Every structure is written in structure tokens, then in C-alpha cells.
Structure 1
Amino acid sequence: MEDNIGSEALLTDCNNTSSYFNSNPFYMIDPSSTVKTIRLNFVFVQKDDGSGNFNLNDPEHQTIIADIITIMNAKMSNMAVASCSGINSHSKIQYEVNTIYIQDTYLWNNDNDNMTYKCPNRTTWYLRQKAVEIDSDPSIPAGIDIFFTNGETAYNYNVVNNNSDYQGANYACSMFPTNDYGEGSYVHMPDCFIKYYWMKEWATQIHSQPWIPVVYGWYVNSTAETIVHELGHSLGLYHEYTCITHNIMNNAGSGCSHDYLTDAQLYKSHRNLSLTNIRKFVNEQTSLDSPLVVTGNELIDFNTRLYRDIIIENGGSLTISCKVLMPAIGKIVVKQGGKLIVDGGIITNACNDPWQGIQVWGDKTAHQFPDANGNYQQGYLKLINGATIENAIIAIDLWEPGNWSSTGGIVYATDAVFRNNAKAVHALYYNNYHPYFPQIEMEYNSNFKNCTFEITEDYLGDETFYKHVDLAHVKGIDFQGCDFSLAENVEGVSTWNHAIAAYDARFRVSAICNSQQVPCPEEDYDRCTFTGFYSAVNAVNDGSSAVTFSVNRADFTDNANGVKTRYMNNASVLFSNFEIGHLWGCGTGIYSDNVTGFAFEENAFSKYTGGTVSDYFGIIINNSQAVNEVYKNTFNGLSYANFSDGKNWIDINRYEGLAYYMRIPTTTLIFMWQITYGRNVQVFNLNRVMIIILPEIHSPKTVQTGIFIMVGNI
């Protein structure tokens, strides 16, 4: 359900100063507006033996309930139009009802509430605890709970003793909406069953009219009118006595048709469906209102649920500093030349389905540099001060999907949170050429600093999670001091998941120095972290572009593969820690396949604490096919520190190829080394102890394990 109170507690800039906060056009409906369907729970409280109220197994009772619901919706969709106010004959509000039957004699008897009108807006209301229980039950749709009870005194008088003068209640009571988004909304309908029994038994005789269709019609119409009236209060409407007498909110009794709401009342109702707690009872939309189009400088600094897209045009700028709930089919579009700034705000889904996310449209033929006024030819997104994007299908998509001329959207994120998105960032197929030297390609003008990318146990799972970051044919996006995580055993997550997946893309993963001292003390680095992935950093190249990646001072914890790369030459992984996890009996710190020119230096590798019995590899190198070095890494408690496979030498010189340099504290060291189908692997000791290993060539399926003894200096 929407309105995460935990994340909402982080909001600090919800000042309600925006022009949209009280804007009549922003909430006013017209004939093209989409219908909002509000969920209701009709709660019929019976005696312990199931008697004393409408019954699920009584056909007439069920027909009455169905007819009441039909009339309620007809009143909201076929309203009379008054000449004094309004043009809308449809309120654009409908009701969807779920029925609940409870057996509890104490709760059935509304005499146990000693207040005159037995209203639910009191914390001491006798049904309050049951209402909260219903709201907390995940098997019950969240909705406005309407309780049907009966007073024992009136029940005994009119039903048990069948007296002709009606003694039941002629009122109902509800509660106004609130900005406490965790609060429920309740309506109390006392003595409806008593009135049904009395009208069927006595009103037919008193008025000399048949039960069906006349008196029956009186009953279902009057009950429906009462419920719609009380729901008007739930929508924030007060009693109305002006204009015309047949207003739904006129509390007059018989003789008033109660079939109309003014435009001002509709405006207030729809505004409250955006701003107050009753918004959480609106079903997800299957269509949207006309979009909110931003052409100037606008602000949303209030907590709202939208039922429309947001489109930021060229020259428009929108700042979001509070909470915005988006519809499942809704999106935010930042067109070329537009700007979206999320300054501490939260953009999330409204119901239980993910929303579409933010599209930042670019121009593939234009550069990404600002002009003298700070304006860009691309769409521009800035996330700062804890800005949070969550529960989106693609949180940030840096193009107009399907339009290959629109790549190149820009994003700058600092201290931002990407939570439970099926994909957090998507950047693709763009080259940023220098505006004055178009033959020079510059780096992609986007980066992420001190950001959090996480999948938690609350991930919705409607869309399969494969990766937080998806980069394809872009160059130079940076991730500095960012944290990437994937919780265990989350539904809707692919086995083959990644934190960063790059395809022919250049990127950097690095730490942030929080000290003024030069060089930076190691303890003052804010390092990137990667936790819980199949392959935390996965980089491949099809050979179409000379790109590479670097990882510097990162911590990898419980990943089956920390860094996995194929055909990505000149990659570097430096000063990083790997606590290696596993998948299907195997885990690797660095896996390198058909890569040369790499630098894997001064990293530390160990088994993840608490990891099960498995094969744990520090570094696997396959088919490097050139002179390469693995330098000054440390290994602890692994099955194999280094594993080389395939061709790791140069054809023209069988004595040149892959070399390992490591620090050996003594002149004698016995260690395990594993080599398959390879030769000419050299091992160097930084204390100038060296040995050259020249194993025989073996079949690819044969594994040779050697025990090599380092002795003396050379």
C-alpha cells in the first residue's frame, strides 16, 4: 500500500507554497477526466450466531446490497445540473464495494457506544479496534470501512417484538479526511437492518403500498442516499444549504432528491483525493487525466497523489521537494531543454503496482554542455539532498523509449536513493562531441555521487529485476561512493542479476576522499559497496568500440562474482576488497575472459563470513593471450587464490605471458596454484624471489594443481 511512513519521515521541505496546492484548475474535473474508483468495505456486524443483520446466504439481502451499490454509483455518475453552479453531470467518482461479515454480539449492539450519534471520529468509538484490525488485514482490500450495526433495544422492540412504531436510528455518521496518511476512514450506519425489517413489515401497511417495487425502492434509495451523503463527508464536504435543495450534502430528509454536487464541491473532493489519507483508497488508474504541462518555473512542495503524467517542456523547470505518488501507467517526461530537480523529494508509486519512471529526453545530434545561461539542449535531471525514486519500472531512462534520435539525456545525482526499481538507470547509444572540436569525443555528462541503489524485501516483483544500472555504448559515467545492494530471497529477482551491467560502455567506480589531506588517508575514503549480486560489476565488449572500465577502492560482499568482464581490454580493479559469495557451489572475486592489458592490483580476497562449503576463487583469468600482470594482491581462506585457464601466453614467445607478482614475507612459502590448459605462467615475489612455472600442455578438461616452493633470492 502507498504512503510509506518511514520514508516520509525524511521529508523536510513540504511547505505547501506551490501554486498547485490550491489551484482550482489542477483539481477541477471536466467531461474528459478519468473516473476515480474508491474502494469501500461494507462491514455487516452480526450476533455471535450470525443473526441480527443482513446475511450472506439470504437472496433478498444480497439483492438489497447490490441495488444500494448500483444506486450509489448512479447518483455519482448521473447528477442533475444546476443553473447556478456547474456543468458536470458526472462526479468522476465511483465506488467499488467489498462485503465483510463479522459475528460479534458486543460489536453488533451499537447501544454499547454511549454517544448520541455513535460517530467514528473518536478514538473511544466502540468499533475502533475492530476497524484498525480490518485495516491491518492484508487479505482485505484497503478501503473506507462502512459499519452496519444495530442497537439491541431497538432490535428487540421492532424485530423481536414486531412493534409498529419505528424506534431505530435515523442518522449516520462519518469522519473527515486528514493529512495523517496512516489513519483510516470510517462510516457508521446504525440500525439499517432494523429499518429494513420495519419497512417491509409495517411501512407497507401504513402507506398501503406493496413491498416490491414501491417500499423496497424507498428503502434502497434512502439507504444509498445516506451512504453517499456520509461519503461526501469522507471526501471533505460539509452540509450544503445554498443553491438548490437537492444537493447530496443537504441533510434534509424526505422530499429532497439528493442528486447533485456543485463544481466547488467536486473540486474539493478531487483535491482531497490527491492530498489526504483517502487517496490510498482509490484504485489504480486504467486511464489518466490530461498531463500536467510545465512551461515555466514551478514547484511541488506538498504531499500529493497525481492521476496524470508530468511533462516538462523546453524552457520549463520543475522542482519537487515533497512526496509525489504516481499512477502505475504514469510517467514524468523531461523534454529537450527542460529541467527536473528533485530536492529531497520522494517520487514513488501510488498503489501496489510500479509506476513507469522518469524519461529524460535527449538529442543524439547535440552535445551535453550548457550555454552561457546554464541551459542544455538535452533534458536535464538533478537529484540532491536525499531525493528518492522508488518502485519504478525504470527510474531514470535517458531517452524517449523507441526514439533512437532522442538519446543523450543528462542526470546528476548526489545523495540520492534508488529503491526497489526494476531498473534504476538506463543510458544508451550516445556520443558527446566537443561543441568546438567535433572530432573530439568527450565523456557522457552524467554522474552519481554518494547514491544508494537497493532492492529490499519490499520489492514489488511485478517486473523482474535484472540490474540497477544498464549502460550500452556510452562513455564516461561515474559512480563515486555509491552503495549497491540486493536483499536475499526477494521475489521477482533474476538469478543473473547485476549492480552495474555495461555493454560496450566506459564507466568508473571510485571512492570519495572526505579529507583535505594529500594523499588521502585510506580511512577517509567513502568507498563504493556491492552486496548480494550474482555479478556485481559485469562488463562486456563486442569489439565495436575501444572502451574500458575501472574500479578503484570498492568493497564487494557476498557476490557470486565481484567483477566479471569479457573482451573488455585495459580494465582495472585496484585497492578493492572482495568477500566472495557463491552460486551453485562456486564464487569468484574477479573473472576475466579474453581480456588483456588489465590491471588487477593491490586487492584483498577472502571468503564471505558465514559462506557455505563451496569453491572460492580469488582471480580467474581465461585466454589473456598476451603479457599481463597480476600484482600485489592478497588472498585468505580461498579454495584457489589464482586460477588461469586457456591461452595465457604469446604465440611468438612461449616464455612470455601472464605473470603474478605478490608479496611473500619470508623466503620460503608453500602455496596452491591451479592452472588448466595453459603454460608459461610466471610468479614473482616482490621480495625478488621468482620462479617460472612451465607445466606441460593438458587437455582443457584436465586440471593440474602444482605446489610451488619459493626459495632464496635471484
Structure 2
Amino acid sequence: PIAILIFLSLAFNLSAQKYEERFATSADIFEDTSSKKISSNSCSKIASYIPDTLTSELTPMRTVRINVHVIQDGKGKNNFNEEEGRKFIGHLIQNTNDRLNSNVKMNLPKDNMTAVIPIPYRYVLTGDPNNSADNGIYFHQDDTLFAMNKKSKKKDNVYDRRQYDTYGVQKQKVINIFLIEHYPDSVASSTYKPSNDGVGMGPWVKLVGSYHLWKHPHITAKGDTIRFGPWNLGGLMNHELGHCFGLNHTWNADDGCDDTPKSPGCWNFGPPPCEIPSNNVMDYNASQIALTPCQIGKVCMNFFRDKGARDYLVRDWCTYTKERSIIISDGQQTEWNGSVDVFGDLIIENNATLTIRCMVSMPPGSKIILSPKATLIIDGGTITSRCEDGEWDGIVNRFTRRNHPTIVLKGKSKVEKAVHPL
């Protein structure tokens, strides 16, 4: 028995060989020039960004920074006052996030098998970080910009950007949302319907008519009272912000998603063909609560694009968090065909291979750690730090006397902004 224990102890010590480690240099790189890289354009394919529950670390929860402006007329009327407005806006943001937290099955097409997957983004009110009293809600008085005429062919229609040009703050960092109204004389006309309208234009969103509808509940022919509240506006707000994230109306043939249904144009349940109306966020309907996997993938893809949706995200990819390290486990053969934000270290274990084809962002202070039998293939991709004045540490090679990790560069691959460059 003692001899057996000694033998097992020796065997364990041999199997758990100690390794040395150092930062990789250009001498450790194998540049594969023999095979031409066939570009699959996977970096710009929506399918590369559709969340997979088995690799949730590749689709982190994103936080979109927003603020809200209430524009009253010159006397402080014809829109929410400060007490009403702050309460309404607080409930509005809560409701929009609740909708995102509760993705549901698509109504159309009937009996569809479209998957229901979590929506990986939420909104946060964001004031000026240099002003502790700024909570991201603003009130303005302006006789010119408090309202619009949806029938106007002049500049005072829904597409008018003067509200953003005049009152927008933290531009290119926070999406500015404006609550305005219809002109009172238009509302007084029997031929003008003061509906809830909106537009999403990337850096700004405009939501029109909410105060009037909230202030004047609708009485149906049966005498029922229908009240307009934050939950009603939440669907429109998610719709317009969806445009800011690159989503198109679902009834357009070119919306880029095969899993979005063509809508018969039904706002709610009714006679055929409206016995089942759409409930997609990017359609016009009373629910606006469902997003398809393709739509979610398209948003996730656009969250990697600079000078676009990425500009409005909380920049948590620049904060190193060891607990959020990504591990490519022993024996795994993994391909990253889309861009990835790493929030900790990237660890590739023995007998595992990771192929990178797009952009991988590493936070300052992070490392890519290769075990002695690990393989890292950069196939036309770029490993960098997408942080201003930020550098990540570099690639760490762990090696034994017999085994060294393999690093292969193909095509126009890059490893940049590392403290210890290749």
C-alpha cells in the first residue's frame, strides 16, 4: 500500500508539470502566408451576433445612456410640469426596461416557431457626471420648439432637429429624448388627430403628444375610459430607440431579418385579417413587446460600431474585472466570427484552440493567457483595446520544457495597443 501511494504521488507530480511564463514576442509568432484568407465577411453578418445561451459571455448586458427633455411653451404650459414630468419619466423608463426584460413569443406568423431569447440591453438616465445635481431630466420653455404639426411640410414636423440642436447635451455620449406636443390650434381642429408620434434619428429621439393623451383619457363608445400612461409610451420609445440601434420597420422587405413577419397593418385585434395582430417592437401595433433573434443580433452587431450605437453605451469594457474573464476550456475548438468585448482576461487552456476573425477589445490591465498546449489563431482579426489612452498587458505564454503554446497570424491580422507588443 505504501509503494502504491508513492507511485501515485510521483505520477501526479509528473502530470502536473510546473510551467514558466513570459510575455510573447514576435519570435513566438507563426505567420501563415501559405494559405490565402477567404473572407467570409462574418464580422458584418448579423448571424455572428445573435446571442447564444451557451456562450452568454460573448453577449454581455449593455447599458444605453439616455436623457429626457420636456419642452413646455413659453409660459410653462402645454406639457408636463416638473412634478408630473419627473414622475411620468421615471415610470416610463421603468416600463421600457420591463418590456426589454420580458421578451415574448411572436404573434405572427400564426403558429410560428420563432425562438424567444433574452434582450441584452437596458436604459439608464444619465446626467452630467461633473454635476451631482444633474439627473438627466430637463425642462425648457420655448414657444417655437414645444410643438409640431405632423401635416407640416415645413421644418416644424416630426423630423425637425432644432430641439436637439438647441437643447441637446452630452452629444455623442447620451441619446437625447424630447417630449413635445402638437400645436394647440391643431388639436382644436376636428380634422387633426393628436396621436402619439415619434422618430428615432440616432443621437436623438422625439416623442410627440404624450401629455395631451395623458391629460385627456379616451372615452369609448361603450363608455369605458382608456387612460394613456407610461406603459403605452414605452412601446413607442423602444420602437424609436430601435431605429437608433439600426432596426427598420418590419413591414419593409429590406429590414435585414428573415424572421420578422410581414404585417397586415393591424393596430389591434379585430375582424380578419386582424384576428392576430403583430406584437413586434418595430411594427405599428398596440403591444410592441417582441424582438426576434435576428433583430437582437442586429442591435448587438451595431453596439460594436464606433460613431454609432456604441457611442451611447456605458463604457464598462474599459474596466478590468477578473471575475468576468473568458475561458476557452480544455479541448474546445472555438471560433469567434464576430467582434467581442472581453471584460477580464482571456484564458486558453491546454488542447484548446481559439480562432479570432474580427475585433477583440481587451480592457486595460488584462492579458491573454495561453497554456502550454493552447493554440491561438488570429485569422484576419484584430486584438486591441478600444479605450481612450488604454493599453492591455499583452499575450502571456505559459510553457514547459516540452510544450509551448502556438500563436498563428493569418492575413492582415493585428495585435495592437499592448504594453508588451509582439
Distance in 2 between residues matched to 1:317 and 1:252, nearest whole Å: 43
SS in 2 for 1:45: strand
Structure 1 pair 126–132 and aligned structure 2 pair: CA distance change class (3 A): same
Given that 1:29 and 1:266 are in contact with CA atoms closer than 8 Å, whether structure 2 keeps it comes out as no
Asked if residue 282 in structure 1 is aligned to residue 317 in structure 2, the reply is no
Paired letter, 2:233: T
Paired letter, 2:116: N
Identify, as 1 or 2, the structure richer in strand: 1
Post-superposition Cα deviations, 1:603-622, rounded to whole Å, max 9, x if no partner, equal xxxxxxxxxxxxxxxxxxxx
Give the aligned partner of residue 386 of structure 2. Answer: 349
Report the TM-score, using the length of structure 2 for normalisation.
Answer: 0.62
SS in 2 for 1:147: strand
Structure 1 pair 63–208 and aligned structure 2 pair: CA distance change class (3 A): farther
Paired letter, 1:107: L
Give the aligned partner of residue 138 of structure 2. Answer: 100
Post-superposition Cα deviations, 1:72-109, rounded to whole Å, max 9, x if no partner, equal 11111112224524443531222212323334433324
**Same amino acid, percent of matched pairs:** 19
Given that 1:155 and 1:168 are in contact with CA atoms closer than 8 Å, whether structure 2 keeps it comes out as no
SS in 2 for 1:106: coil
Structure 1 pair 274–226 and aligned structure 2 pair: CA distance change class (3 A): same
- Structure 1 residue 135: Cα displacement: 0.4
Give the aligned partner of residue 539 of structure 1. Answer: none
Asked if residue 173 in structure 1 is aligned to residue 196 in structure 2, the reply is no
Q: How does 1:522-601 map to 2 (within 5 A)?
A: none
Given that 1:166 and 1:195 are in contact with CA atoms closer than 8 Å, whether structure 2 keeps it comes out as no
Post-superposition Cα deviations, 1:285-319, rounded to whole Å, max 9, x if no partner, equal 6885966789779687x8x4526665556574656
Asked if residue 46 in structure 1 is aligned to residue 72 in structure 2, the reply is yes
- 2:404 aligns with one of 377, 380, 383: 377
Given that 1:312 and 1:333 are in contact with CA atoms closer than 8 Å, whether structure 2 keeps it comes out as yes
Give the aligned partner of residue 245 of structure 1. Answer: 277
Q: How many residues align?
A: 334
Structure 1 pair 289–274 and aligned structure 2 pair: CA distance change class (3 A): farther
Report the TM-score, using the length of structure 1 for normalisation.
Answer: 0.39
Q: How does 1:108-507 map to 2 (within 5 A)?
A: 108-111=146-149, 114=154, 118-119=158-159, 125-130=161-166, 134-135=170-171, 142-151=173-182, 154-156=183-185, 158=187, 167-175=193-201, 184-199=202-217, 203=218, 208=223, 215=227, 218-240=228-250, 242=261, 245-249=277-281, 251-253=283-285, 256-275=286-305, 277-283=308-314, 284=316, 304=339, 306=341, 310-312=346-348, 314=351, 316=353, 318=355, 323-326=359-362, 332-336=368-372, 337-339=374-376, 345=382, 347-349=384-386, 357-363=393-399, 365-366=400-401, 377-378=404-405, 380=407, 389-390=416-417, 395=418, 424-425=419-420
Post-superposition Cα deviations, 1:381-439, rounded to whole Å, max 9, x if no partner, equal 8899995644xxxx4xxxxxxxxxxxxxxxxxxxxxxxxxxxx24xxxxxxxxxxxxxx
Structure 1 pair 247–239 and aligned structure 2 pair: CA distance change class (3 A): farther
SS in 2 for 1:135: coil
Distance in 2 between residues matched to 1:289 and 1:236, nearest whole Å: 29
Identify, as 1 or 2, the structure richer in helix: 2
Paired letter, 1:108: F
- Structure 1 residue 134: Cα displacement: 3.8
Give the aligned partner of residue 515 of structure 1. Answer: none
Distance in 2 between residues matched to 1:245 and 1:87, nearest whole Å: 18
- 1:88 aligns with one of 110, 116, 140: 116
Give the aligned partner of residue 399 of structure 1. Answer: none
**Which sections of structure 2, spanning at least 5 residues, go unmatched?**
1-37, 126-135, 252-260, 263-275
SS in 1 for 2:280: coil
Paired letter, 1:148: L
Structure 1 pair 385–227 and aligned structure 2 pair: CA distance change class (3 A): closer
Give the aligned partner of residue 669 of structure 1. Answer: none
SS in 2 for 1:105: coil
Distance in 2 between residues matched to 1:388 and 1:47, nearest whole Å: 55
Distance in 2 between residues matched to 1:330 and 1:247, nearest whole Å: 43
Distance in 2 between residues matched to 1:35 and 1:232, nearest whole Å: 16
Post-superposition Cα deviations, 1:47-71, rounded to whole Å, max 9, x if no partner, equal 4554443233x1x332221221121
Given that 1:334 and 1:361 are in contact with CA atoms closer than 8 Å, whether structure 2 keeps it comes out as yes
Give the aligned partner of residue 36 of structure 1. Answer: 62
Distance in 2 between residues matched to 1:289 and 1:171, nearest whole Å: 44
Distance in 2 between residues matched to 1:343 and 1:32, nearest whole Å: 22
Kindly indicate whether structure 1 or structure 2 has the higher relative contact order, using CA contacts under 8 Å at least 6 residues apart.
Answer: 2
SS in 1 for 2:79: coil
Post-superposition Cα deviations, 1:360-384, rounded to whole Å, max 9, x if no partner, equal 2312x327xxxxxxxx714658899
Given that 2:366 and 2:394 are in contact with CA atoms closer than 8 Å, whether structure 1 keeps it comes out as no
Given that 2:281 and 2:289 are in contact with CA atoms closer than 8 Å, whether structure 1 keeps it comes out as no
- Structure 1 residue 331: Cα displacement: 5.3
Paired letter, 1:377: H
Give the aligned partner of residue 81 of structure 2. Answer: 55
Given that 2:328 and 2:334 are in contact with CA atoms closer than 8 Å, whether structure 1 keeps it comes out as no
Paired letter, 2:146: W
Give the aligned partner of residue 25 of structure 2. Answer: none
SS in 1 for 2:158: coil
SS in 2 for 1:61: helix
Distance in 2 between residues matched to 1:247 and 1:355, nearest whole Å: 45
